[in-house]
Structure formats: structure tokens, C-alpha cells
Homo-oligomer: A and B are copies of this chain.
Amino acid sequence: MSDEQLVRPAQVSGFPEWLPEVRLVELRWLDEIRQGFERYGFCSVETPSVEALEVLLAKGETSQEVYTLRRLQAEAADDGDARLGLHFDLTVPFARYVAAHFNDLVFPLKRYQMQRVWRGERPQEGRYREFTQCDIDVINVDHVPLHFDAELPRIIHEILTGLNIPAWSININNRKVLQGFYSGLGIDDPLGVIRIADKIDKVGAAGVEKLLATRTALTPAQIRSCLDLAHIRGVDAGVTADIRRLGVTSDLLTEGLDELSFVLDELSDLPAGSVVADLSIARGLDYYTGTVYEGKFLDWPDYGSICSGGRYADLAGSFIRRHLPGIGMSIGLTRIFAKLVAEGRLSTGPSCPSDILVVIPSDARRAQAQATAAALRSRGYNVEVYHQADKLGKQIRYASRKGVPFVWFPPFEDGKPHEVKDMAGGEQVTADPATWRRP
């Protein structure tokens, strides 16, 4: 402690952090997501937080969101570090990684990557400047079988179900259906229409109609057909019949409908409504070429997507002359987690991982308390020893405040037995540290 001016210990906005009891839940989520990926054999990849700026900007897309680095003491003329930036997603670093290590990797490569990413955006609800993404992708040289288009949402479905979050659905579409439909309508620039159609979430059907009328050369009849398509939703292959009924045909449309049917069929064992075909979904990014995904909370339809992804023709074309198509999905961990915290929908429990707090009967008996704790730890329990021989009530209160479920009492006199108290039920029984089992 000094008399100097204090520095305000403020958090920086857009950079979330949690109290220990909330962090403990986040950690459980991270474990469950990882286990969900590993259950299907996906391997872990981590890349540095930092990439060369030319790598981050290889596609030139999200340039204005990039944070660049500079050493505090750098000379003005020394811009060496200014050529480094924090990654803004996990796809660009993964593409660079695959190109850099191409000869040392086994394909098809199934990888997961759970890391923080950074974007120099103005923070708002659901948008952070630092957040954690959990990505899975399957990439292969030249060809990735269609069945992965179903396996990926199945994995994400299992994980989100396990997290027990408020109601959600994974919405599916296929870019070939959109492009094939638009081509079949005689539209010259299907990608341009997709980019406008993608705004339906924000501006509604009427807004999209107006944009198409003012920014494209589409006829009113073409616009009407586009909107008819965007209104189609369904939980099974019946949606493809609805689409065909609109009377538009093209080879690409047929291919897209076959793929969409296949994916819906493969996922038909999942609970009704958890995977929904939604023809309004476009996913703005130009690189998606087939199946696209977008997960949403049902009760918060205006909130950003909680997971998303799709199939792409080529992952690493900016870095290596190999054709590496793939398919990927990403869980927006921070976006989901922070929303639940903000809505008061996250149940928290203890603030520490301890199963047991061992009390210290007296200074003379600290060694015995430590030996008791060691015995319990060797049997797999997480055990704290209270830090000093305070009054018993104070020691128990400490366990209670931290949510430690069991308090252990070593003998207070020679010849007496150990006892353990179940903090939830309140009962206290004799016990042996060598044999006790958590009920």
C-alpha cells in the first residue's frame, strides 16, 4: 500500500471476464465442446494469436477490424512489428497452418480449434473485441464427401444439447439451391442477389424486395420468385418439393436440392425442429459453395448467430497451389455464454473445484489435517485444507461461501474418528479418508 494515486482497475469494454463461479461453468462448457469434437476423432490445432499482416489480409476482406501490434518503445521509423496483427477468425490462421505444414499432415484433416480471436469493433450486445470461437473443419485434397455436411451439424447438435442452453435451432440451406434457382430464373449475377438476400435478417422481406428493385436489374416477377424461395422453411425433405413447385429449373438447382435432401435425410433422427431447412439463409461470405449453416436462439431471433459455417471450394488457395475443399462450423462460445450471463439464465454453483474442505482443529493438528487431505487427494478428490486454526464456525462458513460440498473434520482428540459433513443436506457422519466415497 502506498499513498500514490491509484490506477483505476477498470475492465476494458468489449473484453469480457468472469467471476470464478462463472468461469467454472465456462470451463465446463469448454471441456464439453472439446469432448464433443474429440468424440468424432477431430484433432486439436492451435495457432499463434498473431499472424503477418499479409497473411491476415491475403483475401483483403475484414481489413478494418484487424488489431495490429506495435512495441510500446518502438522507434517511429521501425515498423517491423506493425506488420503483425491479431487474428480476427480461426479460418485464415488454419489455412496458413495447413499450407505451412502440408507435407506433415494426414488428409482428410479433421481439426478443431478453440481460441480467442480479436476484432477492433465497437462493442455492442453479442459483439466483443475479444471472444472465443470453437471451430471444426474437415478438409481434404480435391474432395470432401457429402456425408460430412450432415456429420458436422450432428456434432454441433450433440454439443449444444449437452450444454442445455435455451431453445435454439440449426438452420440449413445450400448455396447451390440459391444460385441454381437464381440462374434458372435467368438472373445474371446470382452472387450479387445472394449478398442482398443475406440481409433479410436485418431489413426483412420488404427491405430485401426494395434493395433488389433498386440495386439490381431484376424484373418484378424475378423478385417475387426470389422472395417466394426465401419464405420456404421445413424440417424434412418436403421442403425440396415446395421449392420444385415454384417451377424454376437448372442443373445446379437440381444438384443443390439433392444435397439438401441428403443432409436433411441423414439428420432425420434428431429431435424435430432442431435442424431446419431455411431458404432465407445465404451467409454473406462469397467463399461458401454448398451447404450453409446458421444457428439461432429461438427466443432471441434478433440476436446474432450462435453457430455458423458451410462448405467451401478451397481453403488455402492464397497460400498453396493445392485444391483443398472443406466444410466447417464454428460455435460462438462467448456470444452464447455472455448472452446467458446477461439474461440471468446461467446457473452457477461453487466458485472453486474443491470437493472437500478439511478443517484445522488446532495448530497442533495441522499436520494431521494435511495428511488427511493428501489421503483424499490420492483417491481422486480435489481437497483444500483451511488455512489456519480459526473457530470452527468460520472454517465452515468459508466452505459455504465457496460452495464446497463437503467439510471434513479430522479427529479433535486422539482416538476419535474422522467425520464428514454434507453441506447440502447438513448430515454429519463418521468416515475414513482411506475408504470414504462421495455419496
Q: Report Cα–Cα, A53/B74, bound state, in Å.
A: 15
Q: Which residue of chain B has its CB nearest to the CB of A3?
A: B321
Residue A437 at the B interface, CB < 8 A?
A: no
Residue A383 at the B interface, CB < 8 A?
A: yes
* Mask of A37-59 contacts with B, CB within 8 angstroms, 1/0: 01111111111111111110010
The answer to whether residues A111 and B40 also contact, given A1-B314, A71-B67, A319-B6 and a CB cut-off of 8 A, is: no
Residue A157 at the B interface, CB < 8 A?
A: no
* A148 and B17 contacting across the interface, CB-CB below 8 Å: no
* Mask of A12-27 contacts with B, CB within 8 angstroms, 1/0: 1001111110011011
Contacting B at CB under 8 A, from A212-266, are none
Q: Report Cα–Cα, A249/B404, bound state, in Å.
A: 46
Segment from A93-101, A170-178, A198-206, A415-423 that makes contact with B: A93-101
Residue A366 at the B interface, CB < 8 A?
A: yes
State how many angstroms separate the Cβ of A380 from the closest Cβ of chain B. 9
* B17 and A43 contacting across the interface, CB-CB below 8 Å: no
The answer to whether residues A72 and B85 also contact, given A39-B383, A377-B39 and a CB cut-off of 8 A, is: yes
Residue A432 at the B interface, CB < 8 A?
A: no
Residue A347 at the B interface, CB < 8 A?
A: no
Segment from A102-110, A186-194, A337-345 that makes contact with B: A102-110
Residue A147 at the B interface, CB < 8 A?
A: yes
* A11 and B100 contacting across the interface, CB-CB below 8 Å: yes
Q: Report Cα–Cα, A46/B106, bound state, in Å.
A: 34
Q: What number of copies of this chain does the assembly contain?
A: 2
Residue A438 at the B interface, CB < 8 A?
A: no
Contact of A17 among B10, B12, B97, B383 (CB under 8 A): B97
The answer to whether residues A352 and B41 also contact, given A49-B116, A97-B17 and a CB cut-off of 8 A, is: yes
* A72 and B120 contacting across the interface, CB-CB below 8 Å: yes
* A382 and B39 contacting across the interface, CB-CB below 8 Å: yes
Residue A209 at the B interface, CB < 8 A?
A: no
Q: Report Cα–Cα, A219/B145, bound state, in Å.
A: 80
Q: Which residue of chain B has its CB nearest to the CB of A102?
A: B9
State how many angstroms separate the Cβ of A415 from the closest Cβ of chain B. 25
Contacts of A7 in B (CB 8 A): 54-55, 58, 318-319
Q: Report Cα–Cα, A319/B99, bound state, in Å.
A: 46
Contacts of A207 in B (CB 8 A): none
The answer to whether residues A67 and B63 also contact, given A11-B100, A99-B9, A352-B43 and a CB cut-off of 8 A, is: no
Apart from the given pairs A6-B318, A12-B52, 9 other A-B contacts in the complex at a CB distance below 8 Å: A6-B320, A7-B58, A8-B54, A9-B99, A9-B100, A26-B46, A41-B384, A43-B353, A66-B72
Q: Which 5 A-B pairs have the closest CB atoms?
A: A41-B384, A15-B48, A41-B354, A71-B120, A9-B99
